[in-house]
Amino acid sequence: MPKYGWDVKEHLLFDEEVKRMFDTCKNDYERLAVAIMWRAAPRPMEMMGDILKQSQIKIEEEQVSMTLKTLKLGEGGKFNVADRLMQFARPKGIEQDIYLETIARMVTKTAPEQPMLPFSKRWLERICNRMGLEILGRPITPYHFRHGRMTWLARNGATLDKLKHFKGAADYRSVWGYIGATPFVVSQELARAGEKRKAALQTKQEGEGGQTSTIQEPPKN
């Protein structure tokens, strides 16, 4: 997870870079890994082994649906597990999405209740590192795909709710680091969200007899 205030532009991938890496993949599993990372932006552990099975992906004529298990470390070192549904429009013809079509093809080749990627997180890290060195001249990790995709979504008009959902986050604060390279309008949306939260909290306090608490405001730059 990125630290708040980091320089997100130093940790991004872009469409053309991902396409070049996809084209150099050595087998179907590597292509599937890139496709899932660049479309769904999961945490690495949310897509590997028994965590993501064939039955969690539904292929339809006009869309691809994927249910990811949100694995977030909570108190006492235990994972909080919740499902989040991702739905992607499936264009046809010349606008066909190579990543969604790769996912669809691999779903048909995988038996129900079998893992889509029957490997370890270390396998994923190795192929990312190799592709980064071959294509970009620098090592990368699965989180470069995650950060890059989240930023792409923000730059293309995704709402804060959608960003939070894609990230599998508990609150809006944890998407700030992902939108550091986004247009001014996104920062303005964060500010408006902060004002709404502040107003809602003030209303709640008035209803409870004026009790006070402190909230952290979103950045306004």
Residue 52 located in a structural domain: yes
pLDDT per position as a tens digit, 179-217: 655 544 444 544 555 555 556 556 655 665 544 333 333
Q: Which residue has the tokens 């989240």?
A: 150
Contact 177, 5 (CB under 8 A): yes
Residue 193: CB partners within 8 Å, gap ≥ 6? 160, 172, 218
What's the pLDDT band for 58 if we cut at 50, 70, 90?
very high
Residue 23 located in a structural domain: yes
- For residue 7, how far is the Cα from the chain centroid? 18
Range in 63-77, 78-92, 128-142 the model is least confident about? 63-77
The predicted pLDDT at position 204 comes to 55
The predicted pLDDT at position 221 comes to 40
DSSP secondary structure letter of residue 198 = H
Residue numbers of the domain that contains 106 = 8-142
**Strand arrangement, sheet containing 79-89:** 57-59, 63-73, 79-89
Measure the CA–CA gap between 167 and 146, rounded to whole angstroms. Answer: 8
Measure the CA–CA gap between 24 and 94, rounded to whole angstroms. Answer: 22
Residue 176 located in a structural domain: no
Tokens standing for 159? 């709402």
pLDDT per position as a tens digit, 119-134: 999 999 999 999 999 9
Question: Average pLDDT in the 83-101 region?
Answer: 94
Query: What are 63's strand-pairing partners?
Result: 89
Contact 49, 120 (CB under 8 A): yes
Q: Say whether 68 sits in a helix, a strand or coil.
A: strand
Residue 205 located in a structural domain: no
Q: Structural domain tally of the chain?
A: 1
Residue 93 located in a structural domain: yes
Residue 197 located in a structural domain: no
Residue 125 located in a structural domain: yes
The predicted pLDDT at position 129 comes to 94
Q: Is 161 exposed, middle or buried (0-12, 13-18, 19+ CB in 10 A)?
A: exposed
Query: What are 65's strand-pairing partners?
Result: 58, 87
DSSP secondary structure letter of residue 218 = P
Report the candidate in 39, 69, 37 with the shortest Cα–Cα distance to residue 52.
Answer: 69
Residue 104 located in a structural domain: yes
The predicted pLDDT at position 70 comes to 85
Polymer length of the chain:
221
Q: Give this prediction's pTM.
A: 0.76
CATH no. for residue 131? 3.90.15.10
What's the pLDDT band for 1 if we cut at 50, 70, 90?
very low
- 172 or 116, higher pLDDT: 116
- 162 or 115, higher pLDDT: 115
Q: Which residue has the tokens 């050595």?
A: 26
